[in-house]
Structure 1
């Protein structure tokens, strides 16, 4: 019977082999990372639109306009990449720039947009327009039938591309789904409209269902909702300033209440 003996490998060869394996793994990781980034860029470069249901009788029905105010959408160069600054990933970078990380919450904008665009109100074709005003004075027009990325990472990539290229177009027909437009936002609003600002600090506490039920369908309702963690919206062009709860609510929660109230008013299921 022959005993099996292991072959002794010099330490230098082991070390060399280990370094080669590590280098190979690192190369694979970088390649996969580049592929993921490429996929993200492909997805956000051209976005598919979704059809909006037209009114059944072909007539124009009352709708609503949303403005997300003071949205913290700011690009910064971290390392060798331009990124959408946020408190989770770039807190140390922001502190070095003497900026408060808690003010950089683009996730609030993402959640608010999804709350609007996912609502039955929007799918029934009642969202007339949607605007986002950033803290850097950028004004973004969002088409009601756009598909916003579901994940925050891809949303950040989309916003970087939008702020750099000033537009995001649809696949096929090249329709502009998100566009940077000229300020002020009031130039883009209908004349016969009622601009309603929301804030927990308002002394006018209302039941949203009753508030929208009392509004005339001949007047376009425009709701201005703050898309920031702290602070108050610009009240310069607001006609009515209301609070919809005894408690401070997130932007997405406020929007959901408004959408639900309008869906009940217009019998949208």
Structure 2
């Protein structure tokens, strides 16, 4: 079942938050679909939307990277996603992210309309939760924003906290968020969010001896 760590729990883990995720549904005929530039270019053009403002495939790649990682398999990763429409989603670490975008899109449409995805035993694997991200995070954990837009740079190894404390890492926002304490770029190059996810997982796996 989905573990509710609460705001007082300070066990060692990485909490990744994907902000501004492009997860929107659109009605096409009698069915809802996940809005994306490949299938709905005419809808985006009609509404004056830049195709780059609608990239659910990036969220899909990030989630595949995170959930496939040894860090997640070792139960030391927790993932939240907040959409551009301010819908906050919590993922059970045991969630299996669909390998193809088509199946992922169908799953996200189901989630956004039914508010949760359950396994065969009725346990919630993915669920929409109250949009107050700070209420779901350990109060004393470092909260770090990561974006190529930020001026200060850190090697990912410098993000690993000492001791057994958790750390919160926020990706997807090019602006400094109120609940984030520190903001860094991880490279001299403009990394994609899924590349950053891979770097973060690899760094913490090495630091914590996860093979």
Structure 1 and Structure 2 fold alike (TM over 0.5): yes
CA RMSD after TM alignment: 1.6
* Structure with more of its chain in helix, by fraction: 1
Aligned residues: 203
Structure of greater relative contact order (alpha carbons < 8 Å, 6+ residues apart): 2
d(CA) in 2 for partners of 1:74, 1:212: 32
**Structure 1 residues 63 and 149 mapped into 2: Cα distance closer, same or farther (>3 Å)?**
same
**1:212 maps onto 2:136 in alignment:** no
Residue 262 of structure 1: aligned partner: 204
Residue 159 of structure 1: aligned partner: 108
Tell me by how many angstroms 1:154 deviates: 0.3
Residue 5 of structure 2: aligned partner: none
Name which of 134, 144, 150 aligns with 1:196: 144
**1:135 maps onto 2:81 in alignment:** no
Tell which structure's C-alpha radius of gyration is larger: 1
**Structure 1 residues 61 and 186 mapped into 2: Cα distance closer, same or farther (>3 Å)?**
closer
d(CA) in 1 for partners of 2:46, 2:102: 23
> After TM superposition, which residue ranges in structure 1, 4 or more long, deviate above 6 angstroms?
none
Residue 126 of structure 1: aligned partner: 76
User: Contact 2:58/2:193 (CA < 8 Å) preserved in 1?
Assistant: yes
Q: Secondary structure at the match of 2:90?
A: strand
1:143-173 per-residue CA deviation (whole Å, 9 max, x = no partner) reads 11110110000000000000000000011x2
**1:88 maps onto 2:38 in alignment:** yes
- TM norm structure 2: 0.92
Gaps of 5+ in 2: 2-9
Residue 27 of structure 2: aligned partner: 77
